[in-house]
Each structure stands twice: as structure tokens, then as C-alpha cells.
Structure 1
Amino acid sequence: MREFSRLHRRLHPDAQATRLRTAVALALAGGALMAVFKTGAAVTTGSAAMLAEAVHSWIGTASEIFLVAGYLAARRPSDDAHPLGYGRESFVWSLFGSIVMCVVGAQVAVWRGITQWHVIEPPPDYRVGYAVVIVSLAFQSLSFARAVRFVRERAAERDHGIFKHVLDTSDSQLRAVVIGDLIALLGLFIAGLGMALHQLTDEVRYDALGSILIGVLMGVAGLVLINVNRRFLAGVPLPEERRQMAIHAIEQHPDIERVTYFFAEYVGPDRLVVAARVIVVGDPPQTELARLLHEMETRVMEHKSVERAVFALAMPQEYEKRGAGPKKKAAG
């Protein structure tokens, strides 16, 4: 099963998982700190856009807490009540965070922008706001660069683009961190621009518009994350290319002539349930067949990416369609 080992290294790299947990921890700590600073700046300046950014940071911190809760829940080992493990809880908790961002964060930011739209007042002293934006941009840029570098490595292993990998990966933590950092950078730029235009033109609508745009960004990001988590909760199969790799790996076993059916579905971040039907070489007795199928299940489940594997003999009609091509000889 050497080929299956190579497939496993691509499916579940432990070193990369550790780096992702570090990125999530840094995002959580940094997000909470930035939320405090932005809240102080919003209170000091009265900026609607800065308030929207503060709300975004608090929502982001809450989302990170949801992600940590999901990660801890998903790590619980399988049991009799949950033979496929608890991996899908990661998608559930990530879904909660997405809903909070879309419903609470977006609505508060848009509402604040609308109520500020017709206010007539001279622009306040935005120096504190500018300082917070600059510091936050520096921190957020480092966090985003780290996340993108991590995504680029994983995407390259699967010959994917960065954007495609972020949307297709089963790792809800990775997706939330990357999209959250991107929205935070865009939001900071909008907030800074809104304050600057307000100060230059005496038009408070620029600041209000900044708040509305930040709310729209949060709403769009929340909807995207909700949809992706919904798909994984409903069930996402292993991509066809990697499915063919797994079939090829199984067929390298000397006692397996052909795989007639193979299905693998994500039941958690980088966690799969595998089901397969096979045609065995020769005509071994029933006890030998049982031993072989159990051996295949055990070998496949040795890999951390596989939560559960079930192997069965091919259907009678599949034996009839096995064809006249070259067949393996029984080992020994």
C-alpha cells in the first residue's frame, strides 16, 4: 500500500495542521486586541466606519472562538454512537460563526452607516483612528501573508489555485482564517479612506458609506462561508483526481484484481469515510475472503485521513463484467 501512503501524506500533513492551529491562535489573540483598539478609536472619533471595523473585529473574534470549539469537538474519537467520528461538528461551529458575521455584523455596520448618512457635523480629530488603522493594517497584513503562504503550499500539492483551494478545502478553519483576514484588510482600507474623505470634504456621508460597504463585505463573506459549510454538512465526495489515485493504490494489492466501486466522502476536516467493492484474485475460501477484506479495511484506516473504511466483495453482475483482459494470479 505504498501508493496509499503517498496519497495520505497529501491528504493529512501533520506539520501543516500544526501550523494552521498556530495561525488560528494568532488570529484569535490579535483579533481580540485589534477589536479593543478599534472600539476605543470608534468611541474617540465617532466614526461610523471605524465602529463597523470594531464590530467586524469582535465578530471575527467570536468566529475564531467558534472555530476553536469546532476543532476541539471534531477531535473527539469515534464511538459506538458516532462510528464516523465527530468531524462534522467543525462545519457546524464554522456555520455558526458565518451566520453571526452575516446577520449581526453586516446588519449593525449597515444600520450605523444609514443612521450616520444625514448627520451634519464637522469632522472630528481622526488622528487616533488613523493610528489604529495603520497598526491594524500592519498586523493584519502579516497574518494574511502567513495564511496565504500556508494556502499556497497546500494548493500546490493538489495543483489548485489559491482561490479554488480556499473554497474547496474541507478545512473550515483554514477557509475562515483566509477570508476573515482578507475582509479585515479591505475593511481597514475602506475605514481609513472614509475618515480621510470626511476630513477633506466635510461630508460625513463618506464615513457613513464606509460603514455600509464594510457591512456589505461582511454580509457577502458570511453568505459564502454559510454556503460552503452547508455543502460539507450535506456531504462532499473526494475529488475525482484523488479518487482515482485511491483506487489505483488499492489495486496495487496483490490479492485485489479490480475495484468495481469506490466512494469517499468528507466527514470532517481532512477526514474521510471510504467504501469500496472489489474483485479478488482467484477463488479463495470464505474465511480467506473475510481475512483479506478486514486486512484492507485495517490498512486503509491506519491513515489519519480515513475515519472509517468498509470493503465488500463485488456484486455478481460486476464479476460477470470483469472482461477478458489480463488478470492477476493469486499470490503464492
Structure 2
Amino acid sequence: MANPNSSKTALYGGLIANIGIALSKFVAAYFTRSSAMLSEGIHSLVDSGNAILLLYGVSQSQKPADARHPFGRSKELYFWGLIVAVLIFAIGGGMSFYEGIKHIEHPEPLTDPLWNYVVLGVAIGFEGWACWLAVKALKAGANGSNTGFWTMLRQSKDPAVFASVMENLAALLGLVFALAGVYLGHQFNNPYLDGAASIAIGLLLMLVAVFLVSRTKGLLVGEGVDAETLEGMQVIARSQPYIEHIAPPLTMYLGPQDIMMALDVEFRNDLTAEEVEEAIDQLQDAIKAQYPYVKRIFVEAKAVSARGRQVLK
């Protein structure tokens, strides 16, 4: 599970880097008339806004439960993660693609690329730092697991983390595209290559957005824990001395650190209602000890006595 402090550190790092980089890219684009550089400026500006939205989502998701939100507001982070993905696609990808097409239709004369090289070099340094912070937060959320990078990315339930990682990776690759467009355009005296680089950046951002939409959509509609965690929960439940049988647990992520769980349990017929209550408490404590982010456990207890009474807790 992701540490909220490491998530915020990654977001703040990306925000600081992207604001400075966006300003420098726009200045360079103004002096050089580079479409790829303008697209990169738009990309960094969108990333800055996205970091602010995710930070807002983190803040809202940590508000306590109330009468209108009895389960808390953890899912709010997923909502803002979805908004970020849409913005990346529509503004970042769409505008970069549009700028590339416009530049190919009406190419600007090539000018001294020194500004572009300086800004791109500085930007790569800042983006590399921001990407390192995001990947560090991703690894922290994996709790020391030896799974591969892409597996950790797919398994992460925190949009503040996986969106930061994908945005910063896309930013680094976009900078490479922009650098290649500027260099090859001057090398071959072909201004159309600069526009082609802008189109490539736009398509890259759209692909990243599609990935983020698919991840946040699953979490918004009620994604549960992975098969390994589910099996571990069942092992704990079956190890309890008073349990005869359990159905597969039903789980749902309400937030990156907030899991809800429902269990259908059959206890021994010779237990009294008081003993069932105690057994339920023991079961809940055992599961939460192993999986502390399971904040709410609802147990439907059956066969609690010879009369077949049911207890719902």
C-alpha cells in the first residue's frame, strides 16, 4: 500500500519541476518558433495542473466520515484521478497533436536551436528528478515486493502514485521526441520534422491517458483485492477454531488505504450467541492484523445455534 506522505512528496516534486520547466519551454518556443517545444510547454503545464488536482483529491479523500459519507470520502481520489486522465488526453494530447498538424501545414523557418537544447537539457534533469520521486513512491507502496516495475504499476491502487509515474515517464520520453525533432529538423534542414515530433508527443500523451482511464475506472466501479490477498484472507478465516465454512470474501477498494470486506461465515452449531460475537471479533482482529488497510469487515454469521439463529455484524 502506498504511503500518503511519499505520494504527496512525488506530487509536490512533480509540481515544482513542471512549473519551472513549463515557463522555460514557453520562453524557448517563443524565441525559436518550435512546435515541439510549444507542445512540451503545454505538456508541462497540463502536468502541473494535474498535480494540483491530485493533491486536492488526496486532501479530500482523507476527510473523516460523516452522515452524508458514512464510508468516508476515499473514492474522491479516484474521481480526480479520472479527471486528470481526461485532461491529459484532451488538453495535453489533443493540443500537442493539433500544434503538430498546424506546424506541418504552416512550418516556421528554422532558427538557432541553442535555446531549445539548453531548455531541453535542463528539463530532462528536472523531469528525471521528479520521475525518481514518483518511482520511489511506487516502490514504497509495493512494501518491499520483488515484483517487476510494470507489475507494480498495474497493481498500484493509488492514482497519486501511478499517475505521477506515468506522467513523468511520458514527460521524459516526450522530451526525447522534442530533442529528436529539433535536432533532425536542423540536421536535414526540414521544419516538418519538428511538427512530426509534436504529433508523436500528442499520441504518447493519449496512450498514457488511456492507461490511466482504464486503471481509475476499475477502481471507481468497485475493484477488489488481488487473488493472492484474497486467498490469504481466506486462510486466516479458515484457521479460526470456531468456523466451519466460509464463502469467498467480497472486497472493494474505497481508497488506496481503505478496503471494505464482507464475509459469509458458518460457525459451529454448538456456539451460543455470545460465543459467536466473540468469534467474530477474533476473526476481524486477525484479518486486520495481517491486512491493516481492511478498515471495515462485515460478517454474516450463520448456524450460530441449534435453532439456526443468524447474527449479522
Same fold (TM over 0.5): yes
Alignment of 1:4-153 (within 5 A): 12=1, 16-152=3-139
| Offset of residue 33 of structure 1 | 1.4
Query: Where do 5+ consecutive residues of structure 1 fail to align?
Result: 1-11, 317-332
- In 1, the alpha carbon distance for the partners of 2:189 and 2:108 equals 8
8 Å Cα contact 2:266/2:301 also seen in 1: yes
Structure 1, 43-52 or 256-265: larger mean CA deviation: 256-265
Aligned twin of 2:294: 306
Segment drifting more, 196-205 vs 250-259:
250-259
1:144–1:178 contact (8 Å) kept in structure 2: yes
Which residue in 2 is equivalent to 1:3?
none
Residue 32 of structure 1, CA deviation? 1.3
Amino acid at match of 1:175: F
In 1, Cα distance between the equivalents of 2:116 and 2:234? Answer: 57
Q: CA separation in 2, counterparts of 1:152 and 1:175? A: 11
Secondary structure of the structure 1 residue equivalent to 2:263: strand
1:210-225 equivalences in 2 (<5 Å)? 210-225=197-212
Aligned partner of 1:211: which letter? S
Distance 2:99 2:120 in 1: 19
Q: Counterparts of 2:59 and 2:111 in 1: how far apart (Å)? A: 45
Give TM-score scaled by structure 2 length: 0.89
Gap change, CA 1:77 and 1:181, over 3 Å in 2:
same
Separation (CA, whole Å) in 1 of partners of 2:17 and 2:271: 61
| Contact preservation (8 Å) 2:260, 2:294 | yes
Aligned-residue offset at 1:250: 2.9
Indicate whether 1:269 and 2:251 are aligned.
no
Aligned residues of 1:267 and 1:273 also touching (Cα < 8 A): yes
Shift of 1:293: 2.5
- On the 8 A contact 2:236/2:286 being kept in 1, the answer is no
Q: Is the contact between residue 294 and residue 311 of structure 1 (CA under 8 Å) also seen in structure 2?
A: no
Counterpart CA distance in 2 for 1:265 and 1:184 is 32
**TM-score relative to the length of structure 1:** 0.84
* Partner of residue 171, structure 1: 158
What's the secondary structure of 1:78's corresponding residue?
Answer: coil
Report the alpha carbon displacement of residue 144 of structure 1 after superposing the two structures with TM: 1.8
Aligned letter for 1:105?
A: G
Give the counterpart letter for 2:152 in structure 1. Answer: H
Q: Displacement of 1:88 after TM fit?
A: 1.0
Could you tell which deviates more after superposition, 226-235 or 282-291? 282-291
Contact 1:59 1:101 in 2 (8 A): yes
Pick closer, same or farther for the CA change 1:306–1:177 going to 2, 3 Å: same
Identity %: 24
Kindly provide the CA deviation profile for residues 290-325 of structure 1, in whole angstroms up to 9, marking residues without a partner as x: 343255446656764123210111479xxxxxxxxx
Q: 1:248 aligns with which of 235, 256, 269?
A: 235
Q: Deviations over 1:262-283 (max 9, x none)?
A: 1111111132101112233461
Q: AA paired with 2:242?
A: D
Gaps of 5+ in 2: 305-313
1:62: Cα distance to partner? 1.0
Match of 1:84, as an amino acid?
A: F
Contact 1:296 1:311 in 2 (8 A): no
Cα distance, 1:258 vs structure 2: 3.9
Look up the SS of the partner of 1:264 in the other structure. strand
**Letter in structure 2 aligned against 1:58:** L
Count matched residues. 304
Structure 1 residue 260: deviation in Å? 2.9
C-alpha change, 1:60 and 1:315, in structure 2 (3 Å) is farther
Letter in 2 for 1:277: D
Deviates more, 1:280-289 or 1:146-155: 146-155
Residue 253 (structure 1) shift: 3.3
Deviation at 1:118, TM superposition (A): 3.4
